[in-house]
Amino acid sequence: MTQRPTFDKPKVELHVHLDGAIKPETILYYGRKRGIALPANTAEELQNIIGMDKPLSLPEFLSKFDYYMPAIAGSREAIKRIAYEFVEMKAKEGVVYVEVRYSPHLLANSKVEPIPWNQAEGDLTPDEVVDIVGQGLKEGEQDFGVKVRSILCCMRHQPNWSLEVVELCKKYQHHTVVAIDLAGDETIKGSSYFPGHVEAYEEAVRSGIHRTVHAGESSPAEVVREAVDTLKTERLGHGYHTLEDEALYNRLRQENMHFEVRGPSGFVGLSHTETSKNGDPGHPRVQGQGGTAWGCLPATNLLLQVCPWSSYLTGAWNPNTEHAVIR
Ligand SMILES: [Zn+2]
């Protein structure tokens, strides 16, 4: 597959998932090396199976990870390599600053309950995963000249992991980690109120850890409200359904909430005002709302071409606004 440069200006990317941006070649390499069965034998076949050429429901999208995460999770070498290669990819795309997010628990095979991807128990803990990813990112930073920070994800369906996530955010603040996120299936009813998530976000507030939450992408505006009022998020990924609640939308505009929004494929060089004026065919409710949400450009995740889980922030933001870039 050929990668088309999104646009030729230096870019800032604030919403990209490390485990959605792995080279198919690297997955094949570790699948073979570790004796883990994969659904394809060539990078192209693998791309066709785990990539996306049409929008999927969130559960369908998440099921893609089942195919390839077993090849990477639990391997120190593989995890460091995907972090390093991620920075290399971003350098080639002209990204100058990126915040990459991932769940440490989904890459571990020890001290994680349940152990993900049907792995046998090993000795790689979520704590060490964060250390290793940080090493790979820092080496990439040095070699490719991209400033890289990371965000640690809680998962909606695993509130029992969240308190450790916030502790890891605190522990690794000087090892690339800048914020906590809540990812996964946001349609799980009441998941914003699961005590594990609430306590983790409370601790994040107390400890000065920055906060973002996936909400309002496949869930209603109410989940956005929960993210703001209960979890005290400072940014929203992606927040589209906020538009269904005009009062909430106007309030968040006034509060300068940062929406990590993607534009439609093929849009180039949008400013934040143009993004919402032109709308996104995949999210028609964005149409007609002028000049409000912060604009981001579409996914260039290697695996996840149509995936909303990656977005570029364009140049039309105020770098002095603290929430524009979580530092
Ligand atoms: Zn995402």
Report the separation in Å between the CA atom of 18 and the middle of ligand 1, taken as the mean of its atom positions.
10
Report the separation in Å between the CA atom of 258 and the middle of ligand 1, taken as the mean of its atom positions.
14
Report the separation in Å between the CA atom of 41 and the middle of ligand 1, taken as the mean of its atom positions.
28
What's the pLDDT score for residue 261? 75
CB 108 within 8 A of CB 126: yes
Enumerate domains of the chain plus CATH numbers. Answer: 11-271+301-314 (3.20.20.140)
pLDDT digits (tens, 9 = 90+) for 202-251: 999 999 999 999 999 888 999 999 999 999 999 998 888 998 999 999 99
Report the separation in Å between the CA atom of 57 and the middle of ligand 1, taken as the mean of its atom positions.
13
What's the pLDDT score for residue 296? 42
Q: How far apart are CA 99 and CA 111, in angstroms?
A: 26
Helices (H) and strands (E) in the chain, counts: 10, 9
Report the separation in Å between the CA atom of 10 and the middle of ligand 1, taken as the mean of its atom positions.
22
Report the separation in Å between the CA atom of 80 and the middle of ligand 1, taken as the mean of its atom positions.
21
What's the pLDDT score for residue 55? 63
256 three-state secondary structure? coil
Task: Verify whether residue 222 is a known catalytic residue.
Answer: no
Q: How many residues does the chain have?
A: 327
Q: What is the pTM of this model?
A: 0.81
Q: Could you count the other beta carbons within 10 Å of the beta carbon of residue 93? A: 16
CB 85 within 8 A of CB 144: no
Higher pLDDT, 289 or 13: 13
pLDDT digits (tens, 9 = 90+) for 277-327: 333 323 322 322 333 333 343 333 333 322 233 333 322 223 333 333 332
Catalytic residue among 217, 226, 234, 260: 217
